[in-house]
Structure 1
Amino acid sequence: MKKIMYLILAMFTVFMSCDNDDVDIPPTPTAPTNLSVTTVISGDGSGEVTFNASADDARFYHFDFGDGTKGLSKTGSISKKYEMVGDNTYTVKVTAGSGSAQTTSETFDVSVTLSFTDPETVSFLTNDSSKTWFLAASQPGHLGLGPAREGIDGDWWYPKWYSASAFEKCGSEDSDCLCDDELTFSVEENGTMSYTLDNKGQTYFNVGHKAVVGGAEDIDFCYEFDTSGAKAVALSQVSGNVPEDQTTGIQLNFSDEGFMGYYVGSSTYEILFISDTQLYVRTYDTENADLAWYHKFTSAAAVDGGEESLETIYTNLVWSDEFDVDGAPNPANWTYDLGAGGWGNGEAQEYTDSSDNVIVEDGVLKITARSSGAVGGAVHYYDDVTLVATGGETASVENFEGDAPAFTDFGGVSTAVIDNPDASGLNTSSTVGESTKNSGAEVWGGSFFDITSPLDLVTFSSMEIKTWSPAIGAVVRLKIENQANADEFFEVDANTTVAESWETLTFDLSSAPAFNYDRVVLFFDFGVSPSGDAAYTSARIKSENLFEFTYGRVEIRAKLPSAGGTWPALWALGANFDEVGWPATGEIDIMEHVGNNSNTISSALHYPGNFGGNAVVGSTSVETATSEFHNYTVEWTPDSIKFVVDGELVHNSLVNSATTPFNSDFFLIMNIAMGGTLGGAIDAEFTQDTMEVDYVRVYQ
C-alpha cells in the first residue's frame, strides 16, 4: 500500500515540474476583420435575395434579415425569400464571428420587390394556357349596380354582390353588343398573363363616359369602339377597406386602359368569386366614385334558345316511365317524400302520397297542389320595432307603414306585410308584419330584414316590438346581427303574456357587445315546430334507391301549373346527399317554373361555391308552358351539362370536371311546392292546380 502511494506522489511531482512551453494551448480568438457583404436581388418580382458575406478569421455568419427572421451560414452565402408584397426596404444586419464573444457586424438596407400572384386564380382564369370567358347573359344580374366600398352614407351595401340591382341587357338593341363579348386570358412563355377583349367592334358605354367615343345618346348605348390588341394583366391584393366575406382579396389590373366589356373607365376589377366556370367581379366608376359595377362571366358561352340544336351523344334508352297504367305511380320507379316545412325554403305545403295529390290517369302523371282550408301552422303579427332609451327617448326601426322591407325567410317560415287583422287595443295601425310558421317548420325557423343605418345602442338600451300571438307563453327571440360578419350578433328572448291581443314585448340590449348591428332577425314560437294540417297539400316523388345513374340525357315531357304561388320542378339530386349534405351532393334543376312569373322556364345547378342565390342559372321564355306539353331536357356528360327545351339548346351551364360533384349517381325528383323563397306569394283565391307529365326517359 505504501509503495502505491509513493508512486502516485512521484508522478504528480514530475507533472508539476514540466515547463509551460511544452504545452500546446490554443490562442485566444480574435474578432473577424474586413467584413464585406454583397447582395444579388432577383429582378423577376419573386422577392428572392442572395447574400454573400466574407471576413478574415470568420468561422460563421449570422444574418438578421430585417423582417423578423434570421439565418446562419458557415460559408457566408445564404438565400432569403421576402414575403411582403410590393416594394419594401429592409434593414439587414450581418454578423461575422470567430468565437462566442468575438464578432464584427455590418448593417445596411436592401430594397426588394415582391409581385403578387395566386397560382389558383391564374389557373382558373387561363386553364394554365388560354381560356375564353363570356358574359353570363342567361343569368339574372349579369350586369349589376351597387354602392362603392364606402357609399355616400358610409354604409356597406348588402345583400352580397350577387343580389345587386340587375339590368337584363341582352334583350335590347341599345345594349345587346355586351352579350357578344369574348374575354380571353392567356399565359405567356415568360409566365406573365395577357388579355384580349373581342367585342366584335362594338362597346357598351355607360352614359357618363360617352365623351370617350363622341357619343350623342343620353342613355347607355352600344358604340363603335376598337378594343383590338392584347393587354397585360397582373394580379394584386385588393386595396382599401373591403369586407373579407365580400372579396377574394385579389384584383385584376389591365394595362393600356383594358376593360371587361362594359365601359365605365376602369381598368381594375376586384374578384369577388372565381371557379373553373364562374367569374364575378366588381369595378368602380371613374366618373362617379359612389358607384360600383358588378359583372358575371362564365367560361361556357350562353346560347339563346332556337339558335342551336342539341346534338346528343346519348341515344340508348335505359330507363323510362310512360305513365300508361292508371292508379298510383309505379312503385318500382317511384317513392315519396312526405311531410311539411319545405326543407328550409319557407314553403307552405305538406307533401302526401294521397291520390288527391299524385295519381296516374289517362296516360299522364298528375301532381296536384291543393288548398286544404287549414290555417297552416302558427301565425304571429308584429309592428312598431322601436329602440328605447333609459330616459324614455325612442327611435323607430320599422313600422311597416311605408315600403315593405325585403324579408329573408328560413326554416319553413314565410313573412309579409299585410293589413292589420286586429286593429284594436295597443295597435290600430293600418299595416303590420305577418310571420307564418308553417306546419312542420324547423324549430329555428324565422326571418330577417336589413336596415340602412346600424342600431344606436349607445343611446338606446332596449327594443320594443308590438306583438300579436295566438297563445300565451310563445317564445319570441330577437337576434341583432352584423350583415358583414355573421359571427357578430346578440340574442335575447321574451315571452308572450296574452293570446289573440296586441301587447308590447321588451328586449334588453344593454349587454350587447359593441358590434355594428344592421340586421334584425325574429323567431316566433322559437324552439317549436308547429303540427297539424298544412294550408296546402302537394306531392313530391323520387326515384331514390330505385333508379340512380351517372351521366346521360334526361327528357321529361310536361305541362305546368299557372296559379300564383305554385313552384313546380323537375330535377335531380346527388344520391350521396345523406352522407355529404347539400350543396356538396350537387343538384341539377332541369326545369323550374313560378306561377307568379308564368311561362318563364329556368334551369339551375347548385354545388359548392354556386348554390342558393348564387346558383348557375339560365332561363328562357316558353309562351305555352302552362297550356301545352313541352320537352324539358338535360344532357349530362363527364365534360359538360347542357339544358334544352323542345330540342333547342337554352344554355351551356357547366364545363364539368373532377372538381364538381356531377360525376356520381343522381336520382330524379318531380314536385310542386307552394310559396317559399322562389314560389313567392300564394294567390289568396288558390284552390288547386296540376302539373301533368307525359313521360320521363333516360338515355345513355
Structure 2
Amino acid sequence: MKKFKYVFIALLIIAFSCEEDDGPVNGPLANLSVTPEVQDDGSGTVTIRATASGAKSFSFDFGDGTTGESLTGFIVKTYEMAGENNYTVTVTANGNDGSSLTETIQVTVTVTVEIPEEVGLLTNGSSKTWFLAASQPGHLGLGPAREGIDGDWWYPKWYSAQAFEKCGADISDCFCDDELTFSVDSTGELSYVLDNKGQTFFNVAHKEVAGGAETEDACYDFDTSGSKTVTISSVSGNVPEGETTGIQMDFSDGGFMSYYVGSSTYEILTITEDLLYVRTYDTMNADLAWYLRFTSAPATGGGDENLETIYDNLVWSDEFDIDGAPNPANWTYDLGAGGWGNGESQSYTDNPENVRVEDGVLKITAKASGDASGATHYYDDVTLVASGGATSTVEDFEGTPPAFTGFGGASTTVVDNPDASGENTSLSVAESTKPVGAEVWAGSFFDLPTPLDLNTYTSMSVKTWSPEVGAVVRLKLENKANADEFVEVDATTAVAEAWETLTFDLSAAPAFTYDRVVLFFDFGVSPLGDAAYTSARIKSENLYEFTYGRVEVRAKLPTAGGTWPALWALGANFADVGWPTCGEIDIMEHVGNNPNVTSSALHYPGNFGGTAVTASTSVPTATSEFHNYTVEWTPESIKFVVDDELIHLSFVNSTDTPFNSDFFFIMNIAVGGTLGGAIDPAFTEDTMEVDYIRVYQ
C-alpha cells in the first residue's frame, strides 16, 4: 500500500516573558525558567524542563486541550496533530507558600503520519466513495469508549459493541443510502463530502440541532452540503496494536459520517479496499462510542438469488438417526467453562442432558444449573497510610455506597458484614463475586470525587476476607480521564475465611492523578465450581476435516434470551497457528435476544471479532421450524445461503486467505457472552435441534 506523509521541518520559537532578577516574586517562589526541546523526527515529541526556586510542583497547559503535572518540572509531551502546528504552552510553577509564577512559550511541532491510501489518497486528483454497510450487522453499533469505563484493555471491547440494524425501518431509512466521498486535490489536500440525499439520521440526544421532536432516533431534513477539509492525526490514549490503525480523521465545519452524534472526529479501526470501520464519541456522553461500518460498494439486496452449486456429490454426512450419544466416529467434545475469551456463562459438558440424539435429531440443550459457584471475597476500609502512620479513609462502605463497575464477569456490591469479628467488626462491607466462567482478569472499580494524595500518603491498606490462603489481590489506581496513567500493586492473602489487612506499597507510584480504585481478587485464576449454566459443544476435529465443498445443515434454533447457538467451522491448523490465523467460517449464528435473525461471518487476520466480514438475514420462523443453512466454499468464493434462496453474503476467496486448507465442524449453544448478551432471569433451558449435516464436493 502506497503511503503519503506530511513532512515538515520542526521550528522552535521560544518567547520568554521577563522577570526581574533582583529579588523573589510572590514570596520565596522565583526565577521560573522554561526550556523546551522539540524532536525533529516527526514524532511530535517535546521535552519541557521547568525550574524555579521555591517551587513545589509545576503545571502545564500544552495548548492542544491537554494538561499535565510534574513535581520535578520535567515532562515529555507528544502532540498528535499531523503536519506543522504552532502551540502556546503555559507553564505554572506552584510555590510551597501557595504562590505561583507563569511562563508562556511558543513551540512549532511537526508530526509525520502515514495515511492509508484507501481513505482516498490514491494520487492527487483522485477520490473514493464509501457506502453504509446496510446489509451487514453492526453497520451502526454502540460500545464502550476507547479507554473504556473500565479504563484498560482487559478484553476486546469493541467485539461486544451492540449492533443496531437500522436499514428497513421507516423512522431510519434515510440512514441507509448515504454516500461519503473523500477526494484529494492537485495540491494534496484531503477533503470530504457527505451526500445523504437531504436527510440526516439523528441521535435523539442531538435532535434540537435539527429542531426535531421525536422521542427516538429519527431522520430529519438537515443540510450537510459543502466540502469539508480532513485532517489526519495519530490517535492518543490507550490503543493496543492490532485493535486500531492508530489514525483518526477530523472534519472541519462540523462535518460528520452519516449518523449525527455531534462529533467530527473519527478513529479508523479497520480499513481495507472494501471496508472502512470507524469509531466516534458522543459529545453529550464521552463514555459512549458509536461504531460505523462502510463498504466500497452500494448495498445490494439478496432474496431472489438462487445458488448455482458446483458441488453435487455427497461425501460425508451425519443424519442423526441412531438415538444416544452423538456418533463417536464423527464427533468429540470441547469441555469446560469461560467460552475461550468470549465471556460466556456456561460450562460445556458431554452429559446426555446437554447433548444427545433423539427422535432422529441432534439435540444440544443449554440449561440453568441452579446456584452458580465460584469465588466470593469481601473487602472494607480502603485507607491511605503515611510513612509516619497517619491515615486517611478512602472508603469504608458505611454511608452511601459508591457506584461499582464490574468487568470480565465479576461484580461488586455492598452487603452486611458476613463475619463481623477479628480485625473487622464494621456493619457494611463490599462483596466481590467472581463466578465460574469469569475471566482471570475479572474485577470491579469505583471512582473517587477527589484524587488521592500520594504525596502525603505512601501506601494503601485494605481489609480483606478471602476463602483461601494465597489468593492474589491486585490493586490498581488509575486516572479515570487517562487510562495510560495508572499504578498496580499485588498482595497475597495469608489467612482463609477471616479478616486480614493487606498493605499495598505506593511509594514508587508515578506522579499521576489517581481518582479510580480497581480491585481484582484471585487475579490470574479462573474460579472453580459449578457453572450457573451448562451446555454442549461438539466438534469433528481430527475425525472429519475437509477443504472446499457445499455444507448444508438443517436446524431449528432456541428462543431464550441469552442463548447463542452456532453452526460453524474452524481451521484444522488451529492448534498450531491459533485464532484468527487459522480462519473461521460461521455458517449460522443466532441470538435469542434478537430472535429470527440469523447471521454468517468469516474471521481471519485483519478481519475478526468485531471487524469480521459479516451479514445477516431475517428468518421469521427460525425458532419454530427447521431451515437449511448452507455455505458454498470454493477456491474463488464463499457464499452463505438460507433455504437455497437467500444469498446474504458472498466473499471473494484468494490465496491470501486461510480458506484454502482443511476445516472441521463445531456445533454449540453458548449462554451470554459478548454476542449472546443478557440472560433472561427466568431461563431454565432451551434446545437447538439439528436434523442433519451434509458435505457435497
* TM-score, normalised relative to structure 2: 0.66
Q: 2:393 aligns to what?
A: 394
- How far the C-alpha of 1:181 sits from its partner, in A, is 1.7
Contact 1:312 1:635 (8 Å CA) reproduced:
no
Q: 1:490 aligns to what?
A: 488
Separation in structure 1 between the aligned mates of residue 696 and residue 152 of structure 2, nearest angstrom = 49
How do residues 52-131 of structure 1 correspond to structure 2 at under 5 angstroms?
86=83, 118=114, 121-123=116-118
Q: Is 1:589 paired with 2:586?
A: yes
1:448–1:268: structure 2 CA closer, same or farther, 3 Å change rule? closer
Q: 2:177 aligns to what?
A: 180
Q: Is 1:436 paired with 2:435?
A: yes
How do residues 299-698 of structure 1 correspond to structure 2 at under 5 angstroms?
299=295, 307-309=303-305, 311-316=307-312, 317-370=314-367, 376=373, 378-384=374-380, 386-390=382-386, 391-396=390-395, 405-409=404-408, 414-417=409-412, 420=415, 423=418, 425=420, 426=425, 428-429=427-428, 432-437=431-436, 444=440, 446-449=442-445, 451=447, 456=452, 458=454, 460-465=457-462, 467-480=464-477, 489-495=487-493, 497-499=495-497, 505-515=502-512, 522-526=519-523, 536-563=533-560, 565-595=562-592, 598-613=595-610, 615-616=612-613, 618-619=615-616, 622-636=619-633, 641-647=638-644, 649=646, 651-652=648-649, 656=653, 659-679=656-676, 688-698=685-695
Contact 2:470 2:492 (8 Å CA) reproduced:
no
- How far the C-alpha of 1:637 sits from its partner, in A, is 5.0
- How far the C-alpha of 1:206 sits from its partner, in A, is 6.4
Separation in structure 2 between the aligned mates of residue 183 and residue 274 of structure 1, nearest angstrom = 15
Contact 1:589 1:605 (8 Å CA) reproduced:
yes
Separation in structure 1 between the aligned mates of residue 215 and residue 352 of structure 2, nearest angstrom = 59
- How far the C-alpha of 1:691 sits from its partner, in A, is 1.9
Separation in structure 1 between the aligned mates of residue 513 and residue 545 of structure 2, nearest angstrom = 48
Contact 2:143 2:291 (8 Å CA) reproduced:
no
Q: 2:94 aligns to what?
A: none
Residue in structure 2 matching 1:261, options 255, 258, 262: 258
- How far the C-alpha of 1:365 sits from its partner, in A, is 0.7
Contact 1:252 1:269 (8 Å CA) reproduced:
yes
Separation in structure 1 between the aligned mates of residue 216 and residue 682 of structure 2, nearest angstrom = 42
Contact 1:251 1:271 (8 Å CA) reproduced:
yes
SS at match of 1:698: strand
* 1:530-583 CA distance string (max 9 Å, x none): 666655543221122233334444332222334455433222212221122122
1:460–1:214: structure 2 CA closer, same or farther, 3 Å change rule? same
Give the root-mean-square deviation of aligned CA atoms: 5.3
Give me the identity figure in percent.
58
Paired residue total: 589
SS at match of 1:176: helix
Counterpart code for 2:435: T
- Structure 2 unaligned segments of length 5 or more: list them: 10-38, 43-80, 87-108
Counterpart code for 2:566: A
Q: 2:15 aligns to what?
A: none
1:157–1:516: structure 2 CA closer, same or farther, 3 Å change rule? farther
Q: 1:103 aligns to what?
A: none
Separation in structure 2 between the aligned mates of residue 313 and residue 686 of structure 1, nearest angstrom = 40
Separation in structure 1 between the aligned mates of residue 211 and residue 376 of structure 2, nearest angstrom = 59
Contact 1:116 1:235 (8 Å CA) reproduced:
no
Separation in structure 1 between the aligned mates of residue 263 and residue 691 of structure 2, nearest angstrom = 52
SS at match of 2:690: strand
Q: 2:49 aligns to what?
A: none
SS at match of 1:380: strand
- How far the C-alpha of 1:122 sits from its partner, in A, is 0.8
Contact 1:146 1:164 (8 Å CA) reproduced:
yes
Contact 2:396 2:429 (8 Å CA) reproduced:
no
SS at match of 1:174: helix
Contact 1:475 1:524 (8 Å CA) reproduced:
yes
1:696–1:300: structure 2 CA closer, same or farther, 3 Å change rule? farther
Contact 2:307 2:641 (8 Å CA) reproduced:
no
Separation in structure 2 between the aligned mates of residue 536 and residue 263 of structure 1, nearest angstrom = 40
Contact 2:587 2:630 (8 Å CA) reproduced:
yes
1:449–1:532: structure 2 CA closer, same or farther, 3 Å change rule? closer
Counterpart code for 1:338: L
Contact 2:466 2:493 (8 Å CA) reproduced:
no
- How far the C-alpha of 1:271 sits from its partner, in A, is 2.8
Q: 1:237 aligns to what?
A: 233
* TM-score, normalised relative to structure 1: 0.66
Contact 1:383 1:399 (8 Å CA) reproduced:
no
Separation in structure 2 between the aligned mates of residue 336 and residue 652 of structure 1, nearest angstrom = 30
- Structure 1 unaligned segments of length 5 or more: list them: 1-43, 50-65, 70-83, 90-112
Contact 1:280 1:294 (8 Å CA) reproduced:
no
Q: 1:199 aligns to what?
A: 196
Separation in structure 2 between the aligned mates of residue 685 and residue 505 of structure 1, nearest angstrom = 40
Larger displacement relative to structure 2 (175-184 or 506-515):
506-515
SS at match of 1:175: helix
Contact 2:82 2:113 (8 Å CA) reproduced:
no
- How far the C-alpha of 1:695 sits from its partner, in A, is 1.3
